[in-house]
Chains A and B, each alone.
Chain A
């Protein structure tokens, strides 16, 4: 088996590319470290000097205001200099290759790349290129690649679940919606299984469920009422509008009827179940406003914890 490209020879995290294959200890270390970063954001000076003098490049080849902003805030709270590249208006649109872009930015003394790309595997390609060219000191964080992985979202979801539920080993967690196209779902499933959650469920229509889900260690439900029974946490996925145009779904209204999270459906879960969503939400499509704004929703705390988790990831990488 090939060594994990994310770990260096000492087993330390060198890049964060995917949760798949990371040992439980690494995930727990990130979550524990994030817990120490949460209070930094409540202080008069919301900064620590860990990455002072380091340059973090946000390379978003695909738009995402929220994720880019939270990475930017996290890097700035670690005292890094953050450079946001507007890729759509830059050299790539003039035909420059991905790796040429990386070479040019490392020539500008980049220390870390935060990469969002529509192509699955793009951050791996960058990490491999850096290794092949002897620049292992430059770190890569995957901020979402195609349908493949979104590891920091997975980690912030785990942080949120641990914050409210404390012990992973007694939980039932349901992931609801467009699992097929969701990198968030994939990262969540790997993280939940690695951290010892005994029952991970996915709920969605056949057309939006991947074929290999059972091999990932999850229970599959197409009936939402069945799937929600007795769960401790519900992770709703965003229904991407473009799916509606294909043959995968009849309409947003139809989808809401079968898979929208309403107060009535939420009542099937445990009374203290939490409701999560990676955002941005489509109210009235996958989630009812009464649930999104209700007392069981922890969607905004997820955003806050996301900053601490990203600080932890960058803080750990920067010192490895």
Chain B
């Protein structure tokens, strides 16, 4: 169910994020990008295309096997395979997620990356930071800070033509 307030312009936020990432990666040789399924994967795909980062330096992770709520919630029905086509040892990784919230997803993603190797550094980009962190995690690049109620979630959508939109929905 959609919510009242004016919904943020995801395309404008994406352009802001792209500009930040573009500036932030200037001094980093051969960075790689890893998107967290599913919203972060869409963003990572588009960032890689706009930054001229080739396919072999673009990866995706699904953190389902690393989540800390597995014992309560079990495995989601729509787990996607993780795909890391590059050597993680020594890589400078830009991790991308759509919404940064408690930090638990980021923690799980970092854990997963380390099972592929020891990266030189991991940076984090998020389209939206909604605060309320439960772990000591911060993003390097954020397009917008948004506050929503505990029972709401911010959801990124990608239309067939690739255009992004954001909605604020009541969490189920």
Q: Do A and B bind each other?
A: yes
* Interface pair B74/A39, CB less than 8 Å apart: no
99-117 of chain B: CB within 8 A of chain A: 111-112, 114-117
Bound state CA distance, A38 and B80, in angstroms?
Answer: 11
* Interface pair A316/B74, CB less than 8 Å apart: yes
Query: Among A35, A315, A319, which residue has its beta carbon within 8 angstroms of that of B81?
Result: A35
Q: Which of B64, B73, B79, B112 has the most chain A CB within a 10 Å cutoff?
A: B79
* Interface pair B79/A47, CB less than 8 Å apart: no
* Interface pair A43/B74, CB less than 8 Å apart: no
* Interface pair B75/A319, CB less than 8 Å apart: yes
Q: Which of A38, A43, A318 has the most chain B CB within a 10 Å cutoff?
A: A43
* Residue of B with least CB distance to A78: B65
Interface string of B14-34 (1 = CB under 8 A from A): 000000000000000000000
Set of chain B residues within 8 Å of A43, measured between Cβ atoms: 84, 115-116
Bound state CA distance, A37 and B82, in angstroms?
Answer: 9
Check A319/B79 contact, CB under 8 A, given A36-B62, A36-B64, A49-B65.
no
* Interface pair B117/A29, CB less than 8 Å apart: no
Bound state CA distance, A12 and B72, in angstroms?
Answer: 13
Q: Check if A40 is an interface residue, CB within 8 A of chain B.
A: yes
* Interface pair B115/A47, CB less than 8 Å apart: yes
* Interface pair B82/A319, CB less than 8 Å apart: no
Interface string of A86-130 (1 = CB under 8 A from B): 000000000000000000000000000000000000000000000
* Interface pair B65/A315, CB less than 8 Å apart: yes
Pair count A-B, CB < 8 A: 54
Bound state CA distance, A52 and B168, in angstroms?
Answer: 35
Q: Check if B5 is an interface residue, CB within 8 A of chain A.
A: no
* Interface pair A32/B111, CB less than 8 Å apart: no
Q: Check if B163 is an interface residue, CB within 8 A of chain A.
A: no
Query: Among B64, B77, B81, which residue has its beta carbon within 8 angstroms of that of A39?
Result: B81
Set of chain A residues within 8 Å of B81, measured between Cβ atoms: 35-36, 38-39
Query: Among A44, A45, A316, which residue has its beta carbon within 8 angstroms of that of B75?
Result: A316
- A109 vs chain B, min Cβ distance (A): 15
72-131 of chain B: CB within 8 A of chain A: 73-75, 77-84, 88, 111-112, 114-117
**Chain B interface, number of residues (Cβ within 8 angstroms):** 24
A interface majority secondary structure? helix
Set of chain A residues within 8 Å of B62, measured between Cβ atoms: 36
Q: Check if B145 is an interface residue, CB within 8 A of chain A.
A: no
Bound state CA distance, A50 and B115, in angstroms?
Answer: 14
176-218 of chain A: CB within 8 A of chain B: none
* Interface pair B117/A39, CB less than 8 Å apart: no
Interface string of A43-59 (1 = CB under 8 A from B): 11101111000000000
Bound state CA distance, A37 and B117, in angstroms?
Answer: 18
- B76 vs chain A, min Cβ distance (A): 9
- A52 vs chain B, min Cβ distance (A): 10
* Residue of A with least CB distance to B83: A39
Q: Check if B164 is an interface residue, CB within 8 A of chain A.
A: no
Q: Check if A240 is an interface residue, CB within 8 A of chain B.
A: no
Query: Among A12, A29, A319, which residue has its beta carbon within 8 angstroms of that of B70?
Result: A319
* Interface pair A319/B73, CB less than 8 Å apart: yes
- A310 vs chain B, min Cβ distance (A): 14
Bound state CA distance, A44 and B114, in angstroms?
Answer: 9
Set of chain B residues within 8 Å of A47, measured between Cβ atoms: 115
Interface string of B50-66 (1 = CB under 8 A from A): 00000000000010111
* Interface pair B74/A49, CB less than 8 Å apart: no
Bound state CA distance, A171 and B95, in angstroms?
Answer: 42
Q: Check if B159 is an interface residue, CB within 8 A of chain A.
A: no
Check A49/B71 contact, CB under 8 A, given A35-B81, A39-B82.
no
Bound state CA distance, A49 and B82, in angstroms?
Answer: 15
- B60 vs chain A, min Cβ distance (A): 11
- A122 vs chain B, min Cβ distance (A): 26
Given contacts A43-B84, A48-B112, 7 further A-B contacts (CB under 8 A): A36-B80, A36-B81, A38-B81, A39-B82, A39-B83, A45-B116, A315-B65
Closest 3 CB pairs of A and B: A319-B74, A48-B65, A45-B115
18 residue pairs bridging A and B, Cβ less than 8 Å apart = A12-B74, A32-B79, A36-B80, A36-B82, A39-B83, A43-B84, A44-B88, A44-B115, A45-B114, A47-B115, A49-B66, A49-B111, A50-B70, A50-B75, A315-B65, A316-B75, A318-B70, A319-B71
Instruction: Give the interface of B toward A (CB within 8 A).
Output: 62, 64-66, 70-71, 73-75, 77-84, 88, 111-112, 114-117
